[in-house]
Structure 1
Amino acid sequence: MVSKCYCCNVGEEETIQHIFLTAPIAQKLWNHFASCAGINIEGLHLQQLITTWWDWPAKHKLRQILKAMPTIIMWELWKRRNARRHGREVAYEKMKSQCHKTAQMLLRVKYPWIKGGDQDWKDMIAILNTYKPKLHFRPVHWDPPDADCG
């Protein structure tokens, strides 16, 4: 007996691939975040998609956030699937917003010195791609003690 998918109204079989990647709302969510990061996910299977995010060539600080994004996106898709399973609806905009908030929280926890506040995903990528820390230094000069003090 095939189980009906709760994540969409298409009536597809509920599979991991469908819930997390091929369902229309999943594709829309992935495409939003991937396109802003410059990642092409067209035609990838779920494992390939995750690996693409993990291996994406980006600056170190951005890579750390990109590695977390598949988990963040899949968690929102799973929560939506379960909400629909129990008769509640979750809109795409709410899912997108929650992914943004989670990424922002991760940014604040991982890099608290980077100021930015509540920027959107595209701005977050730009900030992490162009971030250069300000180095503060104080010159120190040492004078040897007088020979008479010994």
Structure 2
Amino acid sequence: MDSIDHTFNSGPFATAVWNFFAATAGLQPGQLTLKARLRQWWTTKTRNAGHQLLLQATPVFICWNLWQNRCASKYGGKVTNISRVKYAIYKDTYKMLENTFPQINWPARWTTLLQTSERCKHTIKVYMVAWKRPPEHWIKLNTDGSAVINTGKIGAGGILRNREGKMVMAYSVFLGEGSNNQAETKAAQLGLSWALELGYKNIQMELDSQLVVQWITKKTAPQWTVANQVEEIQQLISQTQYFSCSHIFREANSVADSLAKHSNNTTTPQVYFNTNQLPKETQAYYQMDLQNMPTFRRKKTKKIFEPP
């Protein structure tokens, strides 16, 4: 029977090939549908960029070489050879990894190739970041959104600080259910509204969502789910005299981040005008910012290396 499913998945030859590579990769072998096989490879937790690339590309190479084997057998008169197909799949994977990560000495056997990909580590870049006070005659607004994946609950947090770095007001608001982008944009909208109500016209806003910054600065069009919120933000911006919006690293936005997370423990909006009213964790981050204390940002680079 020469069907698509038989050639790529359910036939004895295809099953043997899939099971060999699945077993060595630590995946569950067996008689699965092709869709289930691909999902298994593509959703397995990976350890680094090299391991991720191997798990994503190998099933594609398996399908390609199964198809080549079928055509060579049917039209080229070649005898089906499972060892040849396994080697071709390994060779394709090897060449891909060698071209993508030439700094790694990739081994010449599939099992050791896989083990090497699992052992590789990302280079970690560490550098200091810190919150900075606004310029003279400006107020700084830091906002953040919180989204709990398990429950779908979202919240908003933000803080207004003056030239001396001292708090003017802060807020923590539970928003119900929604997406992280909805939480981020609502947090920005609430903060701008309160800043304007308090009479501030020169507003410097910082968010740790690069995407939302691009929406607010009109560099990209917003998603339809937040289009109305972004439009409300633009209307508020038109009421300012001077306005700027920029990205800040999450590690330097800890005060707003803690206020956003605190909203998940509340049911009514919390507005603070005194630092003693702030949640304990937020108070600690606020004091660090007030004293110009930096924090460390650790980021994985795309480059990987094989540990000794």
Q: TM-score range by the shorter chain?
A: 0.7 to 0.9
Counterpart Cα distance in 1 of 2:35 and 2:121: 33
Aligned position for 1:84: 73
Q: Give the paired residue count.
A: 122
Letter in 2 for 1:63: Q
% identical equivalent positions: 26
Letter in 2 for 1:62: H
Aligned position for 1:26: 14
Aligned position for 2:61: 72
Question: Unmatched 5+ residue regions in structure 1?
Answer: 1-12, 136-150
Counterpart Cα distance in 2 of 1:91 and 1:19: 14
Normalised by the length of structure 2, the TM-score is: 0.38
Secondary structure class of the residue paired with 1:47: helix
Aligned position for 2:91: 101
Letter in 2 for 1:95: V
Question: Unmatched 5+ residue regions in structure 2?
Answer: 125-308
Equivalent residue for 2:116, pick from 110, 127, 133 = 127
Q: Deviations over 1:16-42 (max 9, x none)?
A: 211111111111111111100001142
Equivalent residue for 2:51, pick from 62, 74, 87 = 62
Q: Which has the higher helix share?
A: 1
Counterpart Cα distance in 1 of 2:3 and 2:58: 21
Q: Which has the higher strand share?
A: 2
What is the root-mean-square deviation of aligned Cα atoms in Å?
A: 1.6
- Offset of residue 133 of structure 1: 5.5
Equivalent residue for 1:45, pick from 28, 33, 37 = 33
Which structure is larger by alpha-carbon Rg, 1 or 2? 2
Given that residues 10 and 31 in structure 2 are in contact (C-alpha distance below 8 angstroms), is that contact kept between their aligned partners in structure 1? no
Counterpart Cα distance in 1 of 2:60 and 2:99: 17
Counterpart Cα distance in 1 of 2:114 and 2:9: 23
